[in-house]
């Protein structure tokens, strides 16, 4: 029996795109109570690839961001949105 997935514990920096992607993928995966293997099967990717994404080790292609988003039931751009951002444009 595998361990219960745990959500990320630290927020990534808004300018760390790989960290933001890693945080969002892991958060959505854990919300579904999926293991990395479950997500990998849904995406048709290798489990070690999912692990590397969640540890910010890979520059992920747009095609794989799309696969992750579809599997996690979200829009691809949402995976790249910093967790503490808002979508309103601010005047400079």
Percent of the chain at pLDDT > 90 equals 73
Q: Are 31 and 50 a contacting pair, CB within 8 Å?
A: no
pTM, full prediction: 0.86
pLDDT at 85: 66
The domain in which residue 63 lies consists of 24-79
pLDDT at 9: 84
Assigned domain for 14 exists = no
Distance of alpha carbon 57 from alpha carbon 51, whole angstroms: 9
Assigned domain for 7 exists = no
pLDDT in tens, the chain (92 residues): 467 888 888 889 999 999 999 999 999 999 999 999 999 999 999 999 999 999 999 899 999 999 999 999 999 999 999 987 654 334 33
3-state secondary structure the chain: CCCCCCCCCCCCCCCCHHHHHHHHHHHHHHHCCCCHHHHHHHHCCCHHHHHHHHCCCCCCCHHHHHHHHHHHCCCHHHHCCCCCCCCCCCCC
Assigned domain for 31 exists = yes
Assigned domain for 92 exists = no
Assigned domain for 45 exists = yes
Distance of alpha carbon 92 from alpha carbon 67, whole angstroms: 35
Q: Are 49 and 67 a contacting pair, CB within 8 Å?
A: no
């Amino acid at each position: 029996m595998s361990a219960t997935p745990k959500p990320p514990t630290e927020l990534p920096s808004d300018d760390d795109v790989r960290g933001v992607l890693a945080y969002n993928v892991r958060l959505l995966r854990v919300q579904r109570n999926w293991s990395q293997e479950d997500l990998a099967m849904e995406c048709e990717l290798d489990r070690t690839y999912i692990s590397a994404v969640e540890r910010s080790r890979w520059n992920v292609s747009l095609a794989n961001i799309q696969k992750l988003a579809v599997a996690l039931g979200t829009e691809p751009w949402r995976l790249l949105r910093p967790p503490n951002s808002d979508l309103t444009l601010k005047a400079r």
